[in-house]
Structure 1
Amino acid sequence: MSNSEPEKMLLKLLEFFHQNAGEADTLDRSKLEKIMKEHFPTFLSACEKKNPAFLEEFFKNEDKNQDKKINFPEFMSCVSQVAIYLHDQSHNQS
């Protein structure tokens, strides 16, 4: 049985994370910042308009275990924030 389209999308997210994560399977602040700037510029720009310190606060909030790294579950939380923003945009709510 082959993967469904949603499963394929999730596997692509996992692959994306692994391509960007270090050997410890985590992202540091600079790596997350680079990902946000390169891959989620619309989201980042909108958030920084409202709060110039957004990225710093975003990292701190998403680093749930406060180890100064973003692991895969924390990364998925970051991605969900982008998805929620895009959903709201699709309804002109942001």
Structure 2
Amino acid sequence: MRRLIALVLILMLAGLQAKLWLGEGGRAEVEALRESVKLQRAENKRLEQRNAALGAEVEDLKSGTAAVEERARTELGMIKPGETFYRVIDPPPAAQAP
């Protein structure tokens, strides 16, 4: 009788250990979740930095004309009255001398 009880207890222990190591919520899943959290934190940090840069750009655009002027020049190709616009075109890479 004692052997049967010991055998049942050992089987239960083995089953619980198998569930701990291999089953749902086991070690492998926990490690995968930790890696996922690590990647998500890195992505969140990158997005926070991007948001901060965009926020600073919005504030700059709201507070002064220099940023608006810079944007008009670079994105829209605008120039001030009296200025002369020059476009410099680089030769294609194949036409450059060796």
The alignment's TM-score, normalised by the length of structure 1, stands at 0.25
The alignment's TM-score, normalised by the length of structure 2, stands at 0.25
Which is bigger in relative contact order (C-alpha 8 A, separation at least 6)? 1
